[in-house]
């Protein structure tokens, strides 16, 4: 699906709500409907032979949930674990994944006209996973297609062949 089509789809459905979070100096937004809950960070159980950004698995009320550190995934300068570090639990097509971010800012409603197509730039993020840029006054929001990002083969979250 091309960028413009995606934008068209968004504008057709009108304004959407996004959960915004911080990674280092950047601010990101994801579709609020994909978010199940937000939790504090607790050290996960390491899983051998996993990429470095998969911190391991945690127990979420009896379910084993993998934890991805977005700061490591996006090559942020530092990835500290402090009292602000939070885990956003995502529910993506019946799979539950937790992502570690520096902090969660707020929930924003973005009208379609506030969305701009992202220019083609070189980035560690697969350009297909960036839905667009949202401008809110002086702030710029990078809107992620989190489902696409998480199911990409290089995330190593799903067994190959699935």
Interface contacts to another protein, rule CB under 8 A: 44-50, 56-59, 61-66, 95-97, 156-159, 162
Phi, psi of 127 (to 5 degrees): -60, -25
Nearer to another protein, 22 or 95 (CB): 95
Shortest reach from residue 156's CB to another protein, in Å: 7
In terms of Cα–Cα distance, which of 93, 95, 76 is closest to 21? Answer: 76
Query: Which two tokens mark 32?
Result: 């609020």
Cβ(98)–Cβ(60) below 8 Å: yes
Pairing mode, strands 63-69 and 95-101: parallel
Report the residue number, 131 or 157, with the smaller CB distance to another protein: 157
Least distance in Å: CB of 58 to another protein? 6
Give, as one character, the DSSP assignment of residue 71: H
**CB closer to another protein out of 61 and 78:** 61
Q: Pick the closer one to another protein by CB: 48 or 124.
A: 48
Shortest gap between Cβ of 93 and another protein (angstroms)?
11
**49 touches 102 (CB < 8 A):** no
Minimal distance, residue 3 CB to another protein, in Å: 30
Let me know: does 41 contact 86? Beta carbons within 8 Å: yes
């Amino acid at each position: 699906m091309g960028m413009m089509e995606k934008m068209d789809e968004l504008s057709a459905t009108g304004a959407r709500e996004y959960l915004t979070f911080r990674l280092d100096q950047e601010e990101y937004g994801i579709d609020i409907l994909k978010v199940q809950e937000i939790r504090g960070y607790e050290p996960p159980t390491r899983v051998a032979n996993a990429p470095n950004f998969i911190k391991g698995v945690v127990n979420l009320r009896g379910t084993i949930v993998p934890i991805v550190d977005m700061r490591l995934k996006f090559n942020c300068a530092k990835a500290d674990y402090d009292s602000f570090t939070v885990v956003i639990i995502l529910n993506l097509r019946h799979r539950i994944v937790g992502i570690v971010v520096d902090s969660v800012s707020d929930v924003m409603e973005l009208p379609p006209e506030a969305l701009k197509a992202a220019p083609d730039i070189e980035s560690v993020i697969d350009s297909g996973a960036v839905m667009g840029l949202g401008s809110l006054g002086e702030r710029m929001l990078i809107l992620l297609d989190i489902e696409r990002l998480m199911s990409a083969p290089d995330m190593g979250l799903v067994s190959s062949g699935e």
